[in-house]
Amino acid sequence: MTAPATGRTRRRLTVRGTVQGVGFRPHVHRLAAEYALAGFVGNTADGVVIEVEGPLPDVERFCELLAEHPPPLASVTAIGHEDLPATGSGETFTIRATRHTTGRTQLPPDTATCADCLRELADPADRRHRHPFVTCTHCGPRFTIATAMPYDRAATTMARFPMCPACAREYGDPLDRRFHAQPVACPDCGPGLSLIPAEGTGARPARDAEALARTRALLAQGRIVAVKGLGGYHLACDATDPRAVATLRARKERGSKAFAVMCADLATAESVAHLTDAERAALTAPERPIVLLRARTPGDGPRLADGIAPGSPHLGVLLPYTPLHTLLFGLPGDPPGPRVLVMTSGNRSGEPIVTDDAQALIRLAGLADAWLTHDRAIAAPCDDSLLRVRADGTRQLLRRSRGHVPRPLTLPVPVGAALAVGGDLKNALCLGEGGQAWFGPHIGDMGDLATLDAARRAEAHLAALTGVTPRLIAADRHPGYQSTAHARRRAAEAGLPAPVLVQHHHAHIASALAEHGLDGSTPVIGVAFDGTGYGDDGTVWGGEILLADYSAYRRFAHLVPAPLPGGDAGVANPCRQALARLWAAGIDWAPDLPSVAACTDTERAVLHGQLTHRIACVPTSSMGRLFDAVASLTGACHRAGHEAEAALALEALALEARDADSGEYAFGFAPGPRADPAPVLRALLADLRRGVPAPVLAARFHRGVAGAVAGLCRRAREASGLTTVALTGGVFANALLEEDSTARLTADGFTVLRHGRVPPNDGGLALGQLMVAARVPRPGRAR
């Protein structure tokens, strides 16, 4: 870059990153005005282009400040500089209309309402007082209203709402907080609320302020209301009303799966859960995720219904993130109402979250007593994100969705334009091209036609925003996965080669490598523990130690397999899995064992026949299934109504004794090497018969698994010389196991990779598929 030593100069800056929809152009305008610079700023499909002209020192200072102090929601990845001849025309600095060019920019995620907008919402003298859609350049919807790029009002679902003169003045005023804020609106020109009661409730429809007041009254009366949010509908009810919670659980057929709750404010959250400083920061972050917290024993604060999170020491808590949420809890002077609401996804169990208003009235009929809706369309579904905060203050995303999508991940090695479809559980797709990858929002489990349709729409929306046209598709190797069948259809429709099929646990490990910025030039010891994954031998894997990079892997060690009676259908019965594990270990089914007592005589007879004659018994090395079996043996869970229910119950049990006992059950090591749980089971049953409390049994089992992880990694290091370990798979969402395994490995000199920004479960699978598929046409397994 060259520039005149003195006098007037002109410079073009090309800015890339998350620079649209975040007030970047107004920020540039104000900065240029501060230094009396001429020129312009405008959006392009590549990002933002700026030309500034003025005295050289002022131009250079402008460039420094732009790089060092971007707007709060912006994320600048690159700034290109080019000197131009000065025009000397005396022009002012202007914001130009968007240029429609080819290229790519980044759209920010949806962001929680900022403090300035909340003050306006609560101020009776402000024209946006009680406006449920108050927003500005620093907050509000982005991803869920954008329909195309570049990001301008015409390419959002706000396009149908012409601005009134007052909003148009704010939009056009460079000194205003809403200068070029695309969702800007007010009560005179913006979306409106509607309350639609279900037939037979006796309630009357209502609009706007009356709709809100009646909704608050319905919630206070114990009714269930479907509330339209940023990325879909929620089903809401008073979290302190046992009858309302039980009714919602029954209507949604949710079994014992925990509900998330939204607290009116941080003080209310403190009254129902224990919070560390790091957890407070996570709760109040702009992403506003659901945060898993330790539930507080009922005290002076609201007493939550027992049916919120049955049997769990944890509580999923989030804070209001839209003006509508804030209004649901009421402003000063409003009649008192619930301070804690259940906020669960607006869907029937197994279906995707509902976003369409007409579909909401159909698909949520029978679940909701009323619908609080509005006429701003949702461009894409986007469920709430979920995370936990570790003891060291770091965060582990368990569901990457609202607040994070479509923020890109920087890849350690470039990839061609590709789509990875993920797996059948916790599905989230991933698009990649060049040095970036974009996760789509959480879709859910792929067992429903509506979910498959949601996945197709999520891909189309993300492709429109990123400009990625896939030339390659990656999927899981499981021949029976719906996601894999979808990938085959998608490839055929697009005239692309057949999908690259990636082994499940290889993808998990590759996901961890990519998140940590490793280029794959050196393999790692991948510890992939989960419930299920199709193995190279046709059995169910899930307790794997793989030596892996992006292009290949070798199965170094695994859990000794046991039969899985009924295959995937048997997962709902941990007591049967326990008996199968005992049978594999040569341990009798003594009638005093909890798992034996939990099975009926008929079940035991059928199970014995299946195991003896190897009928419908797929061998599995799954660590997740071993957790299920031990959950039953300790009495924590014999029948599971949802995925991971038994493992969560076992972890909850272990938490009760984590500091009261230091014993552990040691695994055996068979040739292979293979970790043999038979000694663990024998020791656990011996303790059980001696009357050792169940929480101690659970804690000793957890420590035993962590010991096996450390032991197998030592063996892998001795055999390979590798010293980096990746802990991945859904089992490592277990805080106790991840913490203990990490501590042991670190003490033993290993570098440990843990998931943070990408879920360890199948919600992060697509990133690994993308990286593996990009390296080789058909991923191999032998090193």
- Mean per-residue pLDDT, 270-277: 97
CATH number at residue 494: 3.30.420.360
Query: Does any domain span residue 403?
Result: no
Same-domain pairing of 553 and 426: no
What pLDDT, in 10s, does the model give residues 11-69? 999 998 888 778 888 899 989 999 999 999 988 877 899 999 999 999 999 999 999 99
Counting residues of the chain whose pLDDT is more than 70, the rounded percentage is 97
- What DSSP string describes 224-292? -EEEE-SSSEEEEEETT-HHHHHHHHHHHT-TTPPPEEEESSHHHHHHHEE--HHHHHHHTSTT--EEE
Rounded to 5°, angle at Cα 553 from 547 and 554: 65
What pLDDT, in 10s, does the model give residues 639-687? 998 889 999 999 999 999 988 888 999 999 999 899 999 999 999 999 9
Query: What is the structure's pLDDT at 38?
Result: 94
Query: What is the structure's pLDDT at 74?
Result: 85
Task: Quote the pTM value.
Answer: 0.92
In angstroms, the Cα distances linking 6 to 11, 33, 55, 66, 88 are 14, 21, 8, 21, 14
Same-domain pairing of 343 and 458: no
Same-domain pairing of 193 and 61: no
Query: What is the structure's pLDDT at 781?
Result: 39
CATH number at residue 578: 3.30.420.40
Q: Domain residues for 300?
A: 107-161+181-392
Query: What is the structure's pLDDT at 776?
Result: 65
Rounded to 5°, angle at Cα 456 from 455 and 459: 85
Query: What is the structure's pLDDT at 101?
Result: 52
Same-domain pairing of 199 and 340: yes
Same-domain pairing of 533 and 496: no
Both structure tokens of 94: 């202007």
DSSP code for 83: E
In angstroms, the Cα distances linking 169 to 126, 130, 176, 376, 707 are 16, 21, 9, 22, 65
Annotated catalytic residue 347? no
Same-domain pairing of 498 and 422: yes
Q: Give just the sign of the alpha carbon dihedral 251, 209, 216, 289.
A: positive
CATH number at residue 330: 3.90.870.30
Same-domain pairing of 431 and 562: no
Query: Does any domain span residue 100?
Result: no
- Mean per-residue pLDDT, 708-713: 98
Residue 759 has pLDDT above 60, yes or no: yes
CATH number at residue 24: 3.30.70.100
Poorest-pLDDT segment among 28-32, 397-401, 693-697, 714-718: 28-32
Averaged confidence pLDDT in the chain: 94
Query: Does any domain span residue 140?
Result: yes
Query: What is the structure's pLDDT at 202?
Result: 75
Same-domain pairing of 260 and 341: yes
Query: Does any domain span residue 778?
Result: no
Half-sphere exposure of 584 (CA within 13 A, CB side): 27
Residue 675 · residue 559 · CB < 8 Å: yes
Query: Does any domain span residue 34?
Result: yes
Query: What is the structure's pLDDT at 531?
Result: 95
Identified catalytic residue from 10, 16, 43, 744: 43
Query: What is the structure's pLDDT at 286?
Result: 96
Same-domain pairing of 116 and 233: yes
Residue by residue, what is the 3-state secondary structure of 687-718? HHHCCCCHHHHHHHHHHHHHHHHHHHHHHHHH
Q: How many domains in the chain?
A: 4
Residue 102 has pLDDT above 70, yes or no: no
Identified catalytic residue from 25, 130, 153, 674: 25
Half-sphere exposure of 473 (CA within 13 A, CB side): 22
Query: Does any domain span residue 667?
Result: yes
Among residues 69, 95, 121, which one ends one of the domains? 95
Residue 88 has pLDDT above 90, yes or no: no
Same-domain pairing of 384 and 415: no
Same-domain pairing of 85 and 125: no
Among residues 75, 95, 115, which one ends one of the domains? 95
Query: Does any domain span residue 421?
Result: yes
Same-domain pairing of 337 and 370: yes
**Cα 39 → chain centroid:** 42
Query: What is the structure's pLDDT at 407?
Result: 94
CA nearest neighbour of 242 among 302, 291, 199: 302
Q: Give the integer Cα–Cα distance in Å for 167 and 238.
A: 36
Cis peptide before 470, with omega less than 30 degrees from 0?
no
Query: Does any domain span residue 514?
Result: no
Q: Give the integer Cα–Cα distance in Å for 474 and 419.
A: 6
- Mean per-residue pLDDT, 387-413: 97
Among residues 55, 73, 95, which one ends one of the domains? 95
Annotated catalytic residue 25? yes
Query: What is the structure's pLDDT at 402?
Result: 98
Provide the pLDDT confidence category of residue 349 given band limits of 50, 70 and 90: confident
